[in-house]
Amino acid sequence: MGIIKSTFSLMTGTVLGVYIAQNYNVPNIKKLADTGLLFMKHIEENYRKPKKRDDDDV
């Protein structure tokens, strides 16, 4: 009985997801995530503390 219940839940979620994606203006999550990562990299590069210079290694 467990495999039928889990398969039914999977199929219902898939059908519902396809219906919503086709009929509503759903944002592209991959594009949003890539934009967010690019923004975070930009922030990190601009606000990172400078590395300490070790004069002993020279």
Our count of domains for the chain comes to: 1
* pTM for this model (two decimals): 0.48
Read off the DSSP letter of residue 57.
G
58 domain residue, yes or no = no
54 domain residue, yes or no = no
- Confidence band of 57 (pLDDT split at 50, 70, 90): low
13 domain residue, yes or no = yes
55 domain residue, yes or no = no
18 domain residue, yes or no = yes
- Confidence band of 58 (pLDDT split at 50, 70, 90): low
- Structure-token pair, residue 32: 């949003």
Report the sign of the C-alpha dihedral through residues 27, 31, 35, 36, in that order. Answer: positive
Cα angle value 11/15/20 (rounded, 5°): 145
57 domain residue, yes or no = no
| Host domain of residue 24 | 2-49
pLDDT, tens only, 2-56: 788 889 999 999 999 999 999 999 888 999 999 999 999 999 989 887 777 766 5
Cβ–Cβ under 8 Å, residues 20 and 14? no
- Structure-token pair, residue 56: 């002993």
36 domain residue, yes or no = yes
